[in-house]
Amino acid sequence: MKNLLSILLIINCHFAFSQEKKYPQDYFAPPMDIPLYLSGNFGEIRTNHFHAGIDIKTQGVEGIPIKSAAEGFVSRIKISPYGYGKAIYVVHPNGYTTVYGHIQKFSETIEKYIKAAQYKKESFSIELFPMSSELQVKKGDLIAYSGNTGGSGGPHLHFEIRETKSETPLNVMLFGFDIKDNISPIVQSIYAYPLDDTSTVNGSHSKMRFPATGSNGNYRLLVNAIQAYGRIGFGIETIDQANGVGNRIGVYKIDLKENDQLVYSHIIDGIPFNKSRFMNAHIDYEEKVKTGRAVQRSFVLDNNQLDIYQLDKKSGPITINNGEQTTMKYELQDAYGNESEISFSVAGKKTSSASRNASIKSSENRYFNFNRRSVILEDDILVNIPAYYLYEDLEFEFSKESNSRCISPLYNLHNKYTPLHSYMNISIKMEGLSDRLKEKSLIVSTTNKRSFSAEGGKWNGDNLNAKSRTFGSYCIMVDSTPPVIVPVNISNGANMNGKWSIMIKATDNLSGIDYYRGEVDGKWILFEYDYKRNLFFHYFDGTIDKGNHTLTFEVKDGTNNSSKIELKFNN
């Protein structure tokens, strides 16, 4: 028996060592010459996706030099007001690609390469794929400066390592970077879910939350036992932290055991982009929307296609009978081997309450199967949800009402607490509109009946068609209000000598900024777009000669309403 335990110990140690050495440990250098303090890590739960890299703090400022983590060549450059903002991709000869996002500006050579392409295309937003011989870099070469562009919520560097062949983002924290972390994952609560009509938790057919207490890797529930009956699933609310920062980050590995038998396990090693949105099936989406709590299920929904699960996807739930007693234990681990655990008892207790179906079934609702196309054709609306766009079967709620801001009825398509994986098609029929009014009409959505978001739309006869991947309420609105343009640091006749930029603000009331163009003396000039602040910048870089000039700046919204200003200036 002693020899057997020794063999098992050796096998387990070898497995842990193999996992640690799966990726090169000393090939990539840190991308900045500052300590690696993280505001986000790989696999962290974000809105509608898992985080694909690490977010490195830049000491609250922009402009910190970014260096290539290894030798290679710049394979892709993407400039956008959204997402990663200004981003650069470097392919390395060892089969990996590094990605650097939310950049402020690039090195002089790369910046010159990009601007030439932007002026040729007359567009700030651009995507470039240089040849392997064009922009070669060595390990430690300056490639950019840190910033806050795109969807960034503050100055930082988003850094990824991808497998070049598949473009799959991998867990950067497994590549041997010097990130200080001796903090064990934190357990906040356990959730218990009745999974069929006869199952109960503490006598209820609804899920229940059980807060946890503890510290330093050891946690327990505030109750002696969870009373349950039937088929039960569990979920855990947990976060991790790294040394020196207060940010909440994600946990690398979660195991769930019943009486020391593993019933569920997942590991966050790598997640392809085309599967990242299945995060909405991995978590309790309803709980996240209602309370902000990120509860990770320990059972897999029917249409959850993530590959992070280590056991059969049908494992996870337990069945507990009346009078039985079982012990559940969660074992958590972060990418640096810090561990936590929480054990709790589940006592089987059958109640005489009515089945869940009796209280929630409604003749007005429709039953949709996740693996079949679902259609609503009612009055003047057609909704088409392709197969496998739901994560599980759904009793779909539909109703309509009037709203003073809509020119069509307001159609309530289920509710915001149920996730939708990809875009459903929505078509609303509206007869009698003039061509001019059609041009100014669009489909909008709302989840609170007060604030509305543009979904756009194209007319086909009397039907306005749009796509959306969120449930909520939809109607047709008219947007005939042009955008508002406000010069920030320039006025008619201004002397711009000594200023580093022209700054203009533009806002729209509904359909959003869809197009903009700046010209000086009739020629296109580069304006960068910061959508978070509704600001447009032209940085003086020698493009505009000294002397007197005329600036024109035009903006159009999603329904082709336009505004334009013309200003004289000298520099």
The predicted-structure confidence for 339-374, as pLDDT tens digits, reads as follows: 999 999 999 999 876 555 544 444 467 999 999 999
124 contacts 83 by C-beta, under 8 angstroms: no
The predicted-structure confidence for 26-82, as pLDDT tens digits, reads as follows: 999 999 999 999 999 999 999 999 999 999 999 999 999 999 999 999 999 999 999
Backbone angles phi, psi at 257, to 5 degrees: -120, 145
Q: What pLDDT is stored for residue 14 in this prediction?
A: 36
Q: What pLDDT is stored for residue 554 in this prediction?
A: 98
Burial class (CB in 10 A: 0-12, 13-18, 19+), 474: buried
pLDDT at 3 over 70: no
Q: What pLDDT is stored for residue 357 in this prediction?
A: 53
pLDDT at 20 over 70: no
124 contacts 529 by C-beta, under 8 angstroms: yes
Q: What pLDDT is stored for residue 392 in this prediction?
A: 97
The predicted-structure confidence for 105-122, as pLDDT tens digits, reads as follows: 999 999 999 999 999 999
Backbone angles phi, psi at 366, to 5 degrees: -115, 145
What does the H/E/C string look like for 172-214? HHHCCCCCCCCCCCEEEEEEEEECCCCCEECCECCCEEEEEEE
HSE at residue 241, side-chain half, CA atoms within 13 A, is: 12
Q: What pLDDT is stored for residue 353 in this prediction?
A: 60
Of the listed ranges 117-126, 357-366, 490-499, 548-557, the one predicted with least confidence:
357-366
Question: Sign of dihedral through CA atoms 85, 111, 128, 71?
Answer: negative
| Tokens of residue 543, six digits | 């493009």
With cut-offs at 50, 70 and 90, classify the pLDDT of residue 4. Answer: very low
Q: What pLDDT is stored for residue 355 in this prediction?
A: 57
pTM: 0.92
Q: What pLDDT is stored for residue 22 in this prediction?
A: 86
Contacts of 90-93 with CB under 8 Å at 24 or more apart are 90/137, 90/143, 91/132, 91/164, 92/27, 92/164
Q: What pLDDT is stored for residue 322 in this prediction?
A: 96
With cut-offs at 50, 70 and 90, classify the pLDDT of residue 10. Answer: very low
pLDDT more than 70, % of the chain: 94
Q: Which amino acid is at 259?
A: N
With cut-offs at 50, 70 and 90, classify the pLDDT of residue 536. Answer: very high
| Tokens of residue 560, six digits | 């082709």
| Distance from C-alpha of 72 to C-alpha of 53, rounded to nearest angstrom | 20
DSSP-assigned beta bridge partners for residue 168: 163
DSSP state of 16: H
Q: What pLDDT is stored for residue 356 in this prediction?
A: 57
Q: What pLDDT is stored for residue 422 in this prediction?
A: 98
Is the pLDDT higher at 525 or at 7?
525
Cα radius of gyration rounded to whole Å, the chain: 28
- What average pLDDT does the chain have? 94
With cut-offs at 50, 70 and 90, classify the pLDDT of residue 272. Answer: very high
Domains of the chain: 38-174 (2.70.70.10), 186-348 (no CATH), 362-478 (2.60.220.30), 484-570 (2.60.40.10)
* Section 499-521 average pLDDT: 97
208 contacts 272 by C-beta, under 8 angstroms: no
Is the pLDDT higher at 358 or at 471?
471
pLDDT at 12 over 80: no
Does an H or E element contain 13, and which?
A: helix 2-20
Is the pLDDT higher at 540 or at 19?
540
The predicted-structure confidence for 304-344, as pLDDT tens digits, reads as follows: 999 999 999 999 999 999 999 999 999 999 999 999 999 99
**Residue bearing tokens 């603000």:** 505
| Distance from C-alpha of 429 to C-alpha of 380, rounded to nearest angstrom | 5
Q: Which amino acid is at 333?
A: Q
Biggest distance spanned by C-alpha atoms of the chain: 91
- Following CA atoms 460, 461, 464, 469 in sequence, which dihedral angle do they give, to the nearest 10 degrees? -30
DSSP state of 147: B
99 contacts 162 by C-beta, under 8 angstroms: yes
DSSP-assigned letters across all residues of 39-86? EE-TT-EETTEE--SEEEE-TT-S--EEE-SSSEEEEEEEE-SSTTSE
* Section 374-401 average pLDDT: 96
Q: What pLDDT is stored for residue 365 in this prediction?
A: 77
